[in-house]
């Protein structure tokens, strides 16, 4: 499959049929996968995005209750910030890796923020409007989930995950970055819990086959995206 462009209609962005980037979300990119009357949400952005996400959902003719699962690629606040809102508004089940689940529930702090800084960051999260919430599904290993393969890609955080459809698309969370022109970039050392592990995850991603790369930050990487990731290494 080769895709050379994505379609925007007003403020709607359908990257390919059935895969949307939600417009106007503060923080990390938020994606919707639409399959008939059911939807999968990937990441939720910063706190306060719930209404924006629901507005987008209704704008494409779907109902909030159509969101059956919200997969959180990792536990940074710009990805899990609106998870509690989304769960209340839609009834969606929250999915996260076991290593990052304590941050979502408010019972732990990010491995990237160690010592006093970790404690300060944990105390600041409520001031940012973050409401802890328990996950519904906690993953420990790579697994099949609906029509995706969930692949563990640690390094940015200990429990970072990517979603993959063979030959089609990879949702990388922050395991990879992209710029505003849709060019892939390696993870940042300063923003990684373990940069050696993060680069190893990029190497694992580079061995997969996908045409589109959708990152947590930056524009979609369209067309032979897996070859472009190989070039980074």
Give the structural domain span for 89. Answer: 7-232
80 within domain boundaries:
yes
63 within domain boundaries:
yes
This prediction has a pTM of 0.90
21 within domain boundaries:
yes
1 within domain boundaries:
no
pLDDT per position as a tens digit, 188-223: 988 899 999 999 999 999 999 999 999 999 999 999
Question: Taking all residues of the chain, what is their mean pLDDT, rounded to a whole number?
Answer: 90
Q: Rounded to whole angstroms, how far apart are CA atoms 108 and 10? A: 41
**Could you tell me which residues come within 8 angstroms of residue 63 by beta carbon, excluding any fewer than 6 positions away?**
57
Q: How many domains does the chain have?
A: 1
Q: Rounded to whole angstroms, how far apart are CA atoms 119 and 135? A: 22
We report the CATH number of the domain holding residue 209 as: 3.60.15.10
Q: Rounded to whole angstroms, how far apart are CA atoms 53 and 56? A: 5
Cα–Cα distances in Å, from 137 out to 72, 101, 111, 126, 129? 11, 10, 21, 23, 23
- With cut-offs at 50, 70 and 90, classify the pLDDT of residue 123: low
- pLDDT of residue 115 exceeding 70, the answer is no
Cα–Cα distances in Å, from 82 out to 47, 125, 133, 191? 5, 12, 10, 21
Determine the pLDDT at residue 129.
83
- pLDDT of residue 86 exceeding 90, the answer is yes
Determine the pLDDT at residue 3.
39
Neighbours of 139 (CB within 10 A): 20
26 within domain boundaries:
yes
Contact in structure between 139 and 96 (CB atoms under 8 Å): yes
- pLDDT of residue 10 exceeding 50, the answer is no
176 within domain boundaries:
yes
2 within domain boundaries:
no
- With cut-offs at 50, 70 and 90, classify the pLDDT of residue 37: confident
224 within domain boundaries:
yes
């Amino acid at each position: 499959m080769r895709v050379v462009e994505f379609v925007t209609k007003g403020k709607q962005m359908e990257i390919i049929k059935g895969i949307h980037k939600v417009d106007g979300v503060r923080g990390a990119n938020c994606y919707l996968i639409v399959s008939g009357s059911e939807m999968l949400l990937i990441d939720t952005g910063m706190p306060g995005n719930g209404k924006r996400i629901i507005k987008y959902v209704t704008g494409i003719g779907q109902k909030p209750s159509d969101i059956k699962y919200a997969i959180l690629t990792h536990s940074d606040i710009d990805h899990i910030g609106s998870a509690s809102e989304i769960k209340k508004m839609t009834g969606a089940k929250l999915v996260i890796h076991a290593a990052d689940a304590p941050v979502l529930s408010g019972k732990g702090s990010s491995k990237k923020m160690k010592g006093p800084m970790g404690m300060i960051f944990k105390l600041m999260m409520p001031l940012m409007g973050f409401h802890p919430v328990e996950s519904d599904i906690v993953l420990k290993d790579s697994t099949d989930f609906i029509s995706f393969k969930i692949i563990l890609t640690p390094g940015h955080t200990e429990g970072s995950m990517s979603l993959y459809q063979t030959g089609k698309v990879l949702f990388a969370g922050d395991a990879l970055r992209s710029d505003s022109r849709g060019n892939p970039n390696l993870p940042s050392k300063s923003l990684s819990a373990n940069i050696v592990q993060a680069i190893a995850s990029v190497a694992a991603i580079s061995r997969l086959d996908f045409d589109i790369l959708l990152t947590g930050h930056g524009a979609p990487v369209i067309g032979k995206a897996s070859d472009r990731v190989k070039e980074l290494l």
